[in-house]
Amino acid sequence: MNTLATSLAFVGAYINYTPVTIPSNNGEPAISISNMIVSTILNPPNTWGFNRNENTSTTTVAGTQDYQTNITDLHFIERVSLTDTTGKIWEVDTVYNNAALSVQSTQGRPKSVCVKTNNLAGTNAIRFSLVPDAVYTVNITYQKLPVQLTSTSSGWSGIPDAYEDIYNNLLLSEAYAVALDDASAQKYRVRGMAALISKVEGLSEMQKNLYMTYALAGDVQTMLAQLRTNQVTQARGI
């Protein structure tokens, strides 16, 4: 399994072994840089089989709209379905991870669900568009929270070694930006983002173009914000 230390050894050969960690500063800035790279890979709208999980521990009560879940590693929800007491499964058509649904009194089989609250630390709740009219087992398919790197011996938050062309190139780009020159930083940033785009599924052409536009500008945070805005606009049918 690749670790941050493995990647730093790879990076060192390119930047003339200029230090990217400060021993007196607990491995920074390499650790924080690597956590930002992990967030870039695992944040929405990116979904990955290796980071996916399912939970069926929530059961609805007729007449109750909101539910706490016991999902301690919920990052964002991909899909939700409902299983009734006869075993019939109904897919919930729309999932909102950031947009809210209003309080309602009308009962029925829910067609939409939102993440009502999520502190990204294990406490979260969901709200259905209609107040459930019966008992359903709630089947939640979701992406897990990134595991923070805390030392150079940390692994890459469960990201497979086969994806090292993403995180190694992105780490190398940041190392160049800190230690040497921006021209090389740009080259490896583009390589890393191109590797990411080639592997992630479900992105529209607009989203792919946004990825590369902001990768070229070195503005990953704005890129992610734009992607999320684009996602919400598509979900609302605007």
Range of the domain at 37: 4-43+146-200
Domain shared by 121 and 75, yes or no: yes
What confidence category does residue 186 fall into, taking pLDDT thresholds of 50, 70 and 90?
confident
Report the C-alpha gap between 92 and 34 in whole angstroms.
Answer: 36
Q: Give the tokens for residue 130.
A: 């209609």
Among 200, 216, 232, the domain boundary falls at: 200
pLDDT in tens, 208-217: 777 777 666 6
Domain shared by 130 and 58, yes or no: yes
Please give the pLDDT value at position 25.
Answer: 72
Amino acid at 137: T
Asked, for residue 53, whether it belongs to a domain, the answer is: yes
Judge contact between 133 and 108, C-beta under 8 A: yes
Please give the pLDDT value at position 215.
Answer: 65
Among 144, 164, 181, the domain boundary falls at: 144
pLDDT in tens, 109-157: 999 999 999 999 999 999 999 999 999 999 999 999 999 999 999 999 9
Domain shared by 33 and 151, yes or no: yes
Q: Give the tokens for residue 12.
A: 């060192």
What confidence category does residue 17 fall into, taking pLDDT thresholds of 50, 70 and 90?
confident
Domain shared by 113 and 66, yes or no: yes
Domain shared by 188 and 155, yes or no: yes
Asked, for residue 210, whether it belongs to a domain, the answer is: no
Domain shared by 33 and 80, yes or no: no
Total domains in the fold of the chain: 2
Please give the pLDDT value at position 23.
Answer: 66
pLDDT mean across residues, the chain? 88
Whether the pLDDT of residue 83 is over 90: the answer is yes
Asked, for residue 212, whether it belongs to a domain, the answer is: no
DSSP the chain: --BHHHHHHHHHHHTTT--SB-GGGTTTBHHHHHHHHHHHHHSTT---GGGEEEEEEEE--TT--EEE---TTEEEEEEEEEE-TTS-EEE-SEEESSS-------EE--SEEEEEEE-SSS-EEEEESSEE-S--EEEEEEEEPPPPP-STT-B-TT--GGGHHHHHHHHHHHHHHHHS-HHHHHHHHHHHHHHHHHH--S--HHHHHHHHHHHHHT-HHHHHHHHHHHHHHHHHT-
Report the C-alpha gap between 41 and 5 in whole angstroms.
Answer: 19
Domain shared by 153 and 134, yes or no: no
Give the end-to-end CA distance of the chain in Å, rounded to a whole number. 44
Domain shared by 123 and 100, yes or no: yes
Please give the pLDDT value at position 232.
Answer: 43
Whether the pLDDT of residue 167 is over 80: the answer is yes
Domain shared by 82 and 100, yes or no: yes
Asked, for residue 134, whether it belongs to a domain, the answer is: yes
Task: For Cα atoms 45, 46, 50, give the angle at the middle one, nearest 5 degrees.
Answer: 145
Domain shared by 10 and 55, yes or no: no
Domain shared by 109 and 22, yes or no: no
Please give the pLDDT value at position 24.
Answer: 61
